[in-house]
Amino acid sequence: MSKNAKILEEARQVSAKPPAVILCEPQLGENIGTAARAMANFGLVDLRIVNPRDGWPSEKARAAASRADHVIDNVRVFDSVEAAIADLTFVYATTARSREVSKPVRGPDEAAEKVVSIGANGAATGYLFGRERWGLNNDEVALADEIVTLPVDPDFASLNIAQAVLVCAYEWRKTATSNALPFRLSTEEHPSATKEDVIRMFEHLEGALDTANFFRPPERRPHMVLTLRNIFQKAELTDQEVRALRGVIAALEKRTPRPRKDEVEDGSAGMVVDSDTGEA
């Protein structure tokens, strides 16, 4: 594993105020903790819980949060959803089933775009998640602006709260950092080879193969040259890789050629089968 793991700065730059996460009557402290951990992975820190069944604080939550103490330490507890969302201006309610009310339904990516665009102006937003067993009731959904639902396989819909939090948080961060990743393939460290260098390598290879009598019969040469050139083009070679291949070709050129079986056994003229390549 790379010791000098450089992180791209753009992966740290979020363009919008992160949303709050509100858990409505969470039953298990462990789920509060794994939700906190999921949030922290994607830069969310504002966790609010409404009437947690087992009260607060919760050692199970802290343990399950792993290192996300900064989230656990700042959890706020409310006795109603209304109170928990009072300061927010836009709220998504997560539901797994359609509701009778005519509220827009979004996927997590669409929801993230909405939340980021509102949060880019510093406005406060939030995602509301329901109870482990039966989610949110219709009155609670009515307190939100829109619905977010995940594109699960309908025949096996069994996401738990923390998993739903994770996906929503992931989409939020992806949008808020404009798709930045912690690292990318660095063209500084791995500059691409120019076509001149690549073509020179091709010519080197083809010359070496000519010398080794690889292209037999001669009329197969053009097709095989195209095939070989295509292989290496698909590899999108870097400078370093072209140099490595030139070294390989040069090393093989220098090798004492071993006698070919077919030339020893059958000195006849005409078609010769290349026992190495199967080419006739």
Question: Binding to a second copy by residue 174, rule CB under 8 A?
Answer: yes
Phi/psi for 100 (5° steps) reads -70, -20
Question: Binding to a second copy by residue 159, rule CB under 8 A?
Answer: yes
Question: What dihedral do alpha carbons 131, 135, 138, 140 form, nearest 10°?
Answer: 40
Which listed range, 81-89, 116-124, 168-176, 257-265, lies at the site for a second copy (CB under 8 A)?
A: 168-176
Contacts of 56 (CB under 8 A, 6+ apart): 49, 75, 77
Cis check: omega of the bond before 108, within 30 degrees of 0: no
Minimum CB separation of residue 166 from a second copy in Å reads: 6
Q: What is the C-alpha separation between 257 and 263, in angstroms, rounded? A: 13
Whose Cβ is closer to a second copy: residue 41's or residue 51's? 41
Whose Cβ is closer to a second copy: residue 73's or residue 263's? 73
Please, which residues bridge with residue 238 across strands? 192
Token pair 């040469």: residue: 221
Question: Binding to a second copy by residue 157, rule CB under 8 A?
Answer: yes
Whose Cβ is closer to a second copy: residue 84's or residue 148's? 148
Whose Cβ is closer to a second copy: residue 3's or residue 255's? 3
Question: Binding to a second copy by residue 184, rule CB under 8 A?
Answer: yes
Count CB neighbours of 217 within 10 A.
12
CB burial of 219-241 (b: ≥16 within 10 Å; e: otherwise) equals eeeeebeeeebeebeeeebbeeb
Question: Binding to a second copy by residue 149, rule CB under 8 A?
Answer: yes
Sheet with 20-24, edge to edge strand ranges:
76-78, 47-50, 20-24, 125-129, 90-94, 146-148, 105-106
Binder among 55, 183, 266, 273 for a second copy (CB under 8 A)? 183
Whose Cβ is closer to a second copy: residue 7's or residue 273's? 7
Question: Binding to a second copy by residue 97, rule CB under 8 A?
Answer: yes
AA identity, residue 52: P
Token pair 């995602």: residue: 127
Question: Binding to a second copy by residue 123, rule CB under 8 A?
Answer: no
Binder among 74, 80, 89, 186 for a second copy (CB under 8 A)? 186
Which listed range, 54-62, 100-108, 209-217, 220-228, lies at the site for a second copy (CB under 8 A)?
A: 100-108
Phi/psi for 20 (5° steps) reads -80, 160
Question: Binding to a second copy by residue 1, rule CB under 8 A?
Answer: yes
**Which residues bind to a second copy, rule: CB under 8 A?**
1-2, 5-7, 11-12, 37-38, 40-43, 66-68, 96-100, 102-105, 107, 109, 134-135, 137-138, 149-159, 163, 166-167, 170, 173-174, 177, 179-186, 189-190, 238, 240-241
